Structure 1
Amino acid sequence: MATDLQRSPTQLPPRSQNDFFGDPIDSNPLWFKKTAFLEPNFSSESYISDLRSFVPFDTLRSHLRTHLSALNSDLVDLINRDYADFVSLSTKLVDVDSAVLRMRPPLSDLRDRISAFRSAVESSLAALRNGLRQRAEASSAREILELLLDTFHVVSKVEKLIKELPGVAADWSGADLGSTGNGSLSNGIFSQHAESGTSLRETQSMLLERIASEMNRLKFYIAHAQNLPFIENMETRIRSASLLLDGSLGRCFVDGLEHRDENAIYNCLRAYAAIDNTAGAEEIFRTTIVSPMIQQIIPYGSSQLVGGPSEDELEDDYQQIMQSIEKDCKFLIEISSSANSGLHVFDFLANSILKEVHFAIQKSKPGALSPGKPTMFLKNYKSSLRFLAYLEGHCPSRSAVTKFRSETAYVDFMKQWNVGVYFSLRFQEIAGALDSSLMTAAIAPVQNPHTNEENSLSLTLKQSITLLESLRTCWKEDVLVLSCSDKFLRLSLQLLSRYTTWLSSGLAARKVGSTGSNPGSEWAIAANAEDFIYVMHDIGCLVTELNGNYLEHVLQLLSSCPTEVLGILKQSILQGGKSLKDLIPIIMDTMIEALVEKSVEDLRQLKGITATYRMTNKPLPVRHSPYVSGVLRPLKTFLDGEWASYLSSEAQNELLLGAAERITGRYYELASDLVSVARRTESSLLRIRQGAQRRAGASSDTSDHNISDTDKICMQLFLDIQEYGRNLAALGVVAADIPAFRSLWQCVAPSDRQGQITF
């Protein structure tokens, strides 16, 4: 105790370096990172703006000041620790200025020498660059000069070679450019082949091929020496040489074509390919060989009259054209498509043959291209596709077929066949026929049901027959265009949907008793129960056809499509059949409801039973009422009619049971209401009678042995339902199995008969 009292007030007990939770007292929060100040891209503004989003400004300032104090304290500690070395540093720096003066002159001298050397190097570098530039300019000038000299030599060589051609010297305007020696050479060369026309033609074609290769070389030189005065001065000579070459080459090519000289034709084609004038060769072949050939088959001209519809057919024309191609054109096609010939740049099939055929058809038979006559248009279109397939058969490779289809002549030819307009016309024709048949106000079975002998399919309604014919028309050979198969599939599904909508809207209108805003539904309101038998029968036949032969036929036509596409197609057609099949329960319900309404007309005679026994002395009934025999008569007549043969046995049983249950249900409703009203009325009359007797002073005792009117009514109803049960049994229906009949029995049967239903 004394020791504690003697302790100085300033000597406080040592504090723990840890706080209450065990963390160091001077520890910084997690968000305060000292290493962030040492980063080279540290920015105080961004650092503060980032922290202020979740740290109060006062807290941030407090921690920063604390950190500054710690840094100052560390700096002082470092200076105090190495203070001796810090003080001795100044004592070692003695006579520093004199040392600086001694080192300055050598350094200045070195700098001057370096500057002089740099200037010399820069001068040498500039001279070297200037020399290289002059050398490059000289080299470029030399190249241009060599190019001009080569151009001049090639032009001269071309002129000399052209003058060697027979018949050119007389037309050569620049005769002074050639030498007389060359003319003698020309006469010497061609005089060797004067006796053999074929050899002369071949030699001429070889010379033309050589000239063409030189012209190709000349074009290369001109392309690299454009806008030079020397070249511009030679343009006249070059143009004249080019025109003469084209004329001579064309004449030689025509001569080779007329004489079927394969070597001459081959050389001429190589010449055309060398000067990049494939269009010229294709045009010459078209005008020389193809055009006369086509005009013999499809004549056209100013005096040609357009023929009638029968003359618009192209099948016979294509057959003759293909025979003529085999006879007159195949030799050139084989030459141009020969392997390793370098003549693949020509496309005589498209730019000569197909182009001329297209032109002849446009001029002579424009009606063949008109989709306004769908049958003729489709026949000609398919004939044209077969003709194109024949032309593609002459292509040596798949790449050649691709090139053939990409030619302008091919594209223009295909554009003339407006398949879109053709489909629109077919759409209006097919869909219009179905729509017209569905707009009738009533339906009636046809006299002779439409029967397909192949499929044993019979339809009874005109609308159903029209639908099936429309669906089959979409995939007929003389209607279908495979390139538009997706559109015809959509049309088929639209036809199914239109027919399904016509049925469903009619059934809905019949249920509400009004067509509303659905024109074309009048048939259902006017139809009787027998008409719906035909509707159900036709639906069953259509669903069977759609899921069977029809689907198989469509899949066979489109068998070339991918498996995924065929799967979608099959699913879409099956879905259309399912939509139709889903209407069968609704139609069955409609027929049952129609039969029930007829039966209810006889059941309404129940109300006469009350009038018969109310306030009368008529004895207790002993036989059923006459109306009972007529309750099930509409159902029996319906099932015994000839139209019932269109229903399967399952459908007949379903119809019989459904109608029996509903009629019995309505019977129970009417009978229970009748009994309930009779009992309430009797109770009211009994109270009134008792009150009157009490007021008259008479005895209120009534005879309990008298049978009440309600008992008589119940007995009559009991006899009636017994007869009704016997009538149901005659139709093959067990009355006890119907819940409504059991309820009706419990309602009117005597107490001793309610335990068992017997007739």
Structure 2
Amino acid sequence: MAPDLAPPRTPTDLFGDPIEDSAPLWFKASSFLSPSFDPESYIDDLKSFVPLESLAKELRSHLSSLKSELLRSHLSSLKSELVDLINRDYADFVSLSTRLVDVDSAVARMRAPIVEFREKVATFREAVDSALGNLREGLRQRAEAAAAREVLELLLDTFHVVSKVEKLIKELPSTPSDGSTIDIVHLDKGAIINDTYSQDMGNGTTLRETQSILLERIASEMNRLKFNINHAKNLPFIENMEKRIQSATLLLDGSLGHCFVNGLEHRDATAIYNCLRAYAAIDNTSAAEEIFRTTIVTPLIQKIIPYGQIQVVDGTSSDELEEDYTQIKQCIEKDCKFLLEISSSANSGLHVFDFLGNSILKEVLLAIQKGKPGAFSPGRPTEFLKNYKSSLDFLAFLEGYCPSRAAASKLRSETVYIDFMRQWNIGVYFSLRFQEIAGSLDSALMASTITRVDNKQGKFSKLTLKQSIALLDSLRSCWSEDVLVISCSDKFLRLSLQLLSRFSTWLSSGLVARKGDSAHSSTTHNSEWASTARIEDLIYVMHDVRSLVMEITGDYLGDVLRVLESCSAQVLDLVKQSILHGKKSLEECVPMIMDTIIDAIVKMSVEDLRQLKGITATYRMTNKLPVRHSPYVSGILRPLKNFLDGEHIDLVTKETVNQLLFGAAERITSRYYELAADVVNVARKTESSLLRLRQGAQRRVGGSSDTADSNISDTDKICRQLFLDIQEYGRPILLHSGLTRGKFQHIVHFGS
């Protein structure tokens, strides 16, 4: 709330200058001492009539005065305390001056030891700094010596390893099979004695195993050598030994390769295992994979798919791969399985090798590319799809040798696997299939007439027209095993929906064109068939459309979902909804077909109804009276009767027949109603005009009109004749149903 402002003592105090060093009347310091003081409320109350600058200035002034008062109070307190202390110890205070005699000499006596101690500390500090510097220098020299020693030991170790590797490599050909003392045989750098491998000795297997063990040892030493070289790069000693190291590496690669080949040829599992561990130790897995490919895989594959110089060119070979893959699988089971089992054994450390991809699949891809390049060509879709599915089956066969899911994923990520899959151009294949499937339907729909087919024994026995059979055949082709590629199932689904839309548009545009509505008919779709189609043909169209709807929602949809059963439930539901939506466009054509049939029947009936106008000429200006119905009546419903009595009517249900009957009868009756109304209205207008003329003439001659009034008028005769005609017309209609009774009663009304 606003502070209480004291009223001014005099008016001059309000308008005069403020008294210096005095607070304004609105500022009360006592407000800050209140327990309920709130600074925000205090400022809000004052700022409505006091500028904030004045308020801030006054608060700062008050703060300064408070600080001054606090300082004065503190000094006064200290002074009083000092006086109290002096008064309490007054005797000591008085005698203090007598005790302060020869103070300078006492200070000098105390300073001397302190200066001496400071000099000793400085001297000791210099000694410590010197010792610390010497210690640091010693540590540096020690570290340099240790580093030099480490390098020296590394170089010595490198020298010993190189020498050891050279020695072990030279010992390889002369290693005894019984494990006794090794005799060193000096060889040239590039010469390796291999005659022992070609001898058929009883201890040959032991010799290979021993040599493979030595090679694994050498490989581990070479791995150690690589480690040393990586940690001693750019040293002159290492550079001088580079030729020896390269020579040892070449000798090891040659010996290891020969031992590995020999082990593969004799299927020595122990020797192969040791060689693979040696290759893994020197991180040269690609060499082992290439040796296996060229030694074992290539001869096997070339026997199945010849290529290169030994390629068979007798003209009898084809590009089909299914039989080739069967033989390749048998060869893998017989000649490659042993190595795959060794490389995939548990806790062997040989998982770094990929013989499936870099040896087997690589050679198969090379053989197909050179021996059967046409196998990858999508220009022949049937053969291409067969080869593609056979290739996928072959890849699945290879993945079956993977010991784990991670190994299978690794195989799929290999470059050769990706290159193999890249050879199959699925996009071009789908384009060709699209043109084939869509083109067959489009050619059938481009015919100028609809064509009936005797298909009672065919695979689409429920259909009767060539166009509808072409549609169902195209739809089924999209999901047949001979056409579908699962990876392109989304594209084939879209093609199926496009086929349904194309057929529905063909139907609707033709029916619209038959009605003469060229503004709404499509010029991009053939509609000539509808103009030349008979009413009976439209019955076949309606029958086929309904059969297509039943087929799509039944077996066809079930087959599609069965093909895609590996997909998730959400995907299957979307596929189902899309197909049902495409089916709906066909269902929407049924009412249009029925309406077109009814219009055709009505047009033929109207030709007989036009004879109704002859009644006027028959009874005008004559004394003839109507006694029976007119001859034209019997022909009004003849087109409808002939249509319902035809053999084609058996193709539709009884409900459809009733709809056609009721629709045609209602429209014919409506047309009858319109024509009869026109005839009666014209007759009445004509009679009224003649009557006025006659009455005018009689008035001029002064005659009487009683005689004319007593005669039956022409309009009455026409109405009586229409009444007889309508009775005859309505008799068969009322026998079938009362749906058109209202229209019929309207027509009868003209005769009353």
TM-score, structure 1 as length reference = 0.81
Residue type matched to 1:227 in 2?
A: N
Q: Alpha-carbon deviation of 1:77?
A: 6.5
Contact 1:539 1:580 in 2 (8 A): yes
Q: Alpha-carbon deviation of 1:437?
A: 0.8
Partner of 1:404: 411
Q: Alpha-carbon deviation of 1:345?
A: 1.2
Match among 744, 749, 754 for residue 747 of structure 2: 744
Name the SS of the counterpart of 2:462 in structure 1: strand
Match among 415, 418, 429 for residue 422 of structure 1: 429
Contact 1:378 1:479 in 2 (8 A): yes
- The C-alpha deviation readout for 1:660-685, integer Å capped at 9, x for no partner, is 11111111112122222222222222
Alignment of 1:382-397 (within 5 A): 382-397=389-404
Partner of 1:42: none
Q: Alpha-carbon deviation of 1:728?
A: 1.6
Q: Take 2:507 and 2:673, find their aligned partners in 1: how far apart are those partners? A: 33
Match among 708, 715, 729 for residue 710 of structure 1: 715
Q: Alpha-carbon deviation of 1:719?
A: 1.0
Cα-Cα RMSD: 3.9
- The answer to whether 1:221 aligns with 2:228 is yes
Contact 2:306 2:312 in 1 (8 A): no
Contact 1:370 1:377 in 2 (8 A): yes
Contact 2:375 2:383 in 1 (8 A): yes
Q: Take 1:578 and 1:248, find their aligned partners in 2: how far apart are those partners? A: 75
- The C-alpha deviation readout for 1:214-240, integer Å capped at 9, x for no partner, is 111111222222222222222111111
Which shows bigger deviation, 676-685 or 198-207?
676-685
Contact 2:170 2:186 in 1 (8 A): no
Alignment of 1:9-158 (within 5 A): 63-68=51-56, 70-71=58-59, 74-75=62-63, 78=66, 85=73, 88=76, 135-158=142-165
- The C-alpha deviation readout for 1:582-641, integer Å capped at 9, x for no partner, is 211111111111111111111122222222223x11422111111111111111111111
Q: Take 2:251 and 2:49, find their aligned partners in 1: how far apart are those partners? A: 97
Change (3 A) 1:75 1:364: closer
- The C-alpha deviation readout for 1:307-340, integer Å capped at 9, x for no partner, is 6576222222222222222221111111111111
Change (3 A) 1:401 1:72: closer
Which shows bigger deviation, 664-673 or 193-202?
193-202
Residue type matched to 1:686 in 2?
A: L
Q: Alpha-carbon deviation of 1:67?
A: 2.0
Q: Alpha-carbon deviation of 1:464?
A: 0.6
Name the SS of the counterpart of 2:709 in structure 1: coil
Q: Take 1:35 and 1:567, find their aligned partners in 2: how far apart are those partners? A: 67
Q: Take 2:687 and 2:706, find their aligned partners in 1: how far apart are those partners? A: 17
Q: Take 2:394 and 2:296, find their aligned partners in 1: how far apart are those partners? A: 19
- The C-alpha deviation readout for 1:535-591, integer Å capped at 9, x for no partner, is 110011111111111122222222222222222222222222222112111111111
Contact 2:449 2:529 in 1 (8 A): yes
Which shows bigger deviation, 160-169 or 385-394?
160-169
Alignment of 1:195-594 (within 5 A): 196-302=203-309, 304-306=311-313, 308=315, 311-446=318-453, 448-449=454-455, 451-452=457-458, 457-514=461-518, 515=521, 517-594=523-600
Q: Take 2:722 and 2:258, find their aligned partners in 1: how far apart are those partners? A: 115
Change (3 A) 1:117 1:437: farther
Partner of 1:675: 680
Contact 1:621 1:715 in 2 (8 A): yes
Which consecutive unaligned segments of at least 5 residues does structure 1 have?
1-7, 13-23, 28-32, 39-50, 52-58, 95-101, 176-182, 751-759
Contact 1:282 1:347 in 2 (8 A): yes
Partner of 2:732: 727
- The C-alpha deviation readout for 1:240-289, integer Å capped at 9, x for no partner, is 11111000000111111111111111111110111111111111111111
Q: Take 1:592 and 1:124, find their aligned partners in 2: how far apart are those partners? A: 123
Q: Alpha-carbon deviation of 1:403?
A: 1.7
Name the SS of the counterpart of 2:703 in structure 1: coil
Residue type matched to 1:749 in 2?
A: G
Q: Take 2:67 and 2:339, find their aligned partners in 1: how far apart are those partners? A: 104
Change (3 A) 1:413 1:11: closer
Q: Alpha-carbon deviation of 1:692?
A: 2.4
Q: Take 1:643 and 1:113, find their aligned partners in 2: how far apart are those partners? A: 133
Q: Alpha-carbon deviation of 1:134?
A: 5.0
Contact 1:253 1:264 in 2 (8 A): yes
Partner of 1:48: none
Q: Take 2:67 and 2:258, find their aligned partners in 1: how far apart are those partners? A: 108
Q: Take 2:349 and 2:42, find their aligned partners in 1: how far apart are those partners? A: 75
Residue type matched to 1:492 in 2?
A: S
Q: Alpha-carbon deviation of 1:146?
A: 2.9
TM-score, structure 2 as length reference = 0.82
Residue type matched to 1:78 in 2?
A: L
- The answer to whether 1:161 aligns with 2:168 is yes
Q: Take 1:397 and 1:674, find their aligned partners in 2: how far apart are those partners? A: 93
Name the SS of the counterpart of 1:512 in structure 2: coil
Partner of 1:663: 668
Residue type matched to 1:486 in 2?
A: D
Q: Alpha-carbon deviation of 1:457?
A: 3.6
Q: How many residues align?
A: 680
Which shows bigger deviation, 468-477 or 539-548?
468-477
- The C-alpha deviation readout for 1:656-712, integer Å capped at 9, x for no partner, is 011111111111112122222222222222222222222333335553221111111
Partner of 1:636: 641
Residue type matched to 1:262 in 2?
A: A
Q: Take 1:550 and 1:117, find their aligned partners in 2: how far apart are those partners? A: 107
Change (3 A) 1:551 1:125: farther
Which consecutive unaligned segments of at least 5 residues does structure 2 have?
1-7, 13-25, 32-37, 83-103, 175-183
Q: Alpha-carbon deviation of 1:738?
A: 3.2
Contact 1:661 1:738 in 2 (8 A): no
Change (3 A) 1:676 1:127: farther
Contact 1:628 1:723 in 2 (8 A): yes
Q: Take 1:377 and 1:76, find their aligned partners in 2: how far apart are those partners? A: 101
Q: Take 2:138 and 2:153, find their aligned partners in 1: how far apart are those partners? A: 22
Which shows bigger deviation, 282-291 or 202-211?
282-291
Contact 2:509 2:525 in 1 (8 A): no
Q: Take 2:686 and 2:640, find their aligned partners in 1: how far apart are those partners? A: 35
Partner of 2:86: none
- The C-alpha deviation readout for 1:440-482, integer Å capped at 9, x for no partner, is 1221322x135446xx742111111111111122222222222
Partner of 1:697: 702
- The answer to whether 1:611 aligns with 2:611 is no
Name the SS of the counterpart of 1:703 in structure 2: helix
Contact 2:361 2:417 in 1 (8 A): yes
Contact 1:480 1:488 in 2 (8 A): yes
Residue type matched to 1:506 in 2?
A: G
Change (3 A) 1:598 1:130: farther
Contact 1:671 1:717 in 2 (8 A): yes
Alignment of 1:590-605 (within 5 A): 590-605=596-611
Name the SS of the counterpart of 1:449 in structure 2: coil
Residue type matched to 1:710 in 2?
A: T
